[in-house]
Amino acid sequence: MTDLATLSESLANSDFTSIPLIDLTDAKSSDSERRRAVAEKIREACLNAGFFYVKNHSVSLDTVEETFKQSQEFFKLPQEVKKTVDISKSGGNFRGYMGLLTENNDPTNKGDMHEAFNMGLDPSLDPASFGQEEEKEGELKHGENLWPEKKDWDGAGAFKQANLNYYSAVLALGQSLFPLFALALNLPETFFDDKIKHPAAIMRILFYPALGERVVDELMPGIGAHTDFECFTILRQDDTPAALQVQNRKGDWIDAPYIPNTFVINIGDQFARWTNDIFVSTRHRVLPTLSKDRYSIPFFFGCDHDVPLIPPETCVTDDRPARYEVMTAGAYVHMRLSEIYTVN
Ligand SMILES: O=C(O)CCC(=O)C(=O)O
Ligand SMILES: [Fe+2]
């Protein structure tokens, strides 16, 4: 069996110049060797680039296209309608609408040139996850989403339905990746099963307005250089060229172009911390969009809020002792979100 710490050290000396594309056809094969072969590709990607594309996943194109369509309808609404679901109304739970420049992912910049709408696990999708968590100060918790109302927007119902459909489909894709991550970490396939029962997944629809002829202010990128906070992100991009970039160890920015009907998956800080930095969480950014409006949908998949991020034994050796203080997943993500959002 590969020793993860040794593998991690040796990969640190190589670098990536492109992002691998992994076929998920065999992810649920009844043949364990085939599942393992997919997990090995995922292991290499998670220890090296921290980024990979997936194809032949379980999410239908119709579900994706309908969500992009609804996203366009929503962001085109007058500001006063979008403000009816403003994030300031979410009681500190990071749900709802955020206007241009209200977020700043890279503190050396002035702000990010995008608008966003955030949602979490909806009570209508999983009633069992609600009302059981203890209220703890400084911890993320499940809660209501902020949905536009029909009295303010005729399309409110279709918008909600498309987002819920997308959320369920991508949640299922995320859950199906955990056995592969477990194999990649030399753990039993079922290792994460009891840790993702009520997952803390936040989905965002993002809108990057085209700047056209306007002068680009380098300090207002689409999204400034950052790492994500949760275990991993499942990102759907549209076909806008020259947008997402990923930074390799040397510091070069590598393009992550749109590839039809794929998702980009990237490891986030929660997984890096949990695995004692065996999995790498890689910085990325979105350049200012010039020729056309851009839409994307990141889905940040965290484990259950109450799970303590104790590194599994395959990630700790005498030469690589545990690097981080143990926190629960909910406390960790709340801390990170509070640092970045100017409104909560
Ligand atoms: O829009 C994108 O392509 C990337 C978004 C992103 O990195 C994020 O929301 O964390
Ligand atoms: Fe990101």
Q: Mind listing the pLDDT tens digit for each residue in 41-82? A: 999 999 999 999 999 999 999 999 999 999 999 999 999 999
Q: Is the shortest distance between the CB of 235 and ligand 1 below 6 Å?
A: yes
Q: Is 296 in the pocket of ligand 1 (CB under 6 A)?
A: yes
What is each CA distance from 274 to 6, 172, 173, 180, 303, in whole angstroms?
A: 18, 22, 21, 16, 11
Residue 179 beta carbon below 6 angstroms from any ligand 1 atom: no
Predicted local confidence at residue 132, as pLDDT: 63
Residue with tokens 């393992």: 36
In the prediction, which pLDDT does 343 show? Answer: 44
CB 102 less than 6 A from any atom of ligand 1? no
Mean pLDDT of 276-282: 97
- Which ligand has its closest atom nearest to the C-alpha of 296? 1
Q: Quick check: CB of 85 below 6 Å from ligand 1?
A: no
Q: For ligand 1, say whether the CB of 234 is within 6 Å of any of its atoms.
A: no
Q: Is 103 in the pocket of ligand 1 (CB under 6 A)?
A: no
Residue 237 near ligand 1, beta carbon < 6 Å = yes
Give, using CA atoms, the residue closest to atom 6 of ligand 1: 298
Query: Confidence class of residue 117 from pLDDT cuts 50, 70 and 90?
Result: very high
The chain-wide mean pLDDT, for the chain, equals 91
pLDDT tier for residue 211 given thresholds of 50, 70 and 90 = confident
Which atom of ligand 1 lies closest to the CA of 284? 7
266 CA closest ligand 1 atom index: 7
Nearest CA to ligand 1 atom 9: 298
Q: Write down the pLDDT at residue 102.
A: 83
Residue 255's pLDDT is 96
Q: Read off the pLDDT band of 335 (50, 70, 90).
A: confident
Instruction: Report the pLDDT value the prediction gives residue 291, as an integer from 0 to 100.
Output: 84
pTM beyond 0.90, yes or no: yes
Q: Summarize the confidence of residues 329-343 as an average pLDDT.
A: 78
Q: Could you report how far apart the first and last alpha carbons of the chain are, in Å?
A: 46
Burial class (CB in 10 A: 0-12, 13-18, 19+), 312: middle
The separation between CA 214 and the C-alpha centre of its own chain, rounded to angstroms, equals 30
ipTM greater than cut 0.90: yes
Q: Which ligand is nearest to the CA of 245?
A: 1
User: What value does the mean pLDDT take over residues 30-39?
Assistant: 98
Residue carrying structure tokens 């065996």? 278
The ligand minimizing its distance to the Cα of 112 is: 1
| Protein residue with least CA distance to atom 1, ligand 1 | 296
How many A from CA of 317 to the centre of ligand 2?
Answer: 30
Q: Where are the beta strands (DSSP E) in 162-210?
A: 202-208
Asked if residue 2 has pLDDT above 80, the reply is no
Domain boundaries, the chain: 4-340
| CATH superfamily name and code, 4-340 | B-lactam Antibiotic, Isopenicillin N Synthase; Chain (2.60.120.330)
* Residues 298-327, mean pLDDT to the nearest whole number: 95
Q: Could you identify the atom of ligand 1 that is nearest to the CA of residue 116?
A: 9
**Residue whose CB lies within 8 A of the most ligand 1 atoms, among 235, 240, 283, for a mutation test:** 235
pLDDT of residue 179: 98
Closest CA to 279 of 50, 53, 37, 51: 50
Ligand 1 atom index nearest CA of 237: 3
Closest-lying ligand to the alpha carbon of 116? Answer: 1
The Cα 68–Cα 74 span in angstroms is: 10
Residue range 8-17, pLDDT digits in tens: 988 877 789 9
CA distance 326 to 301: 19
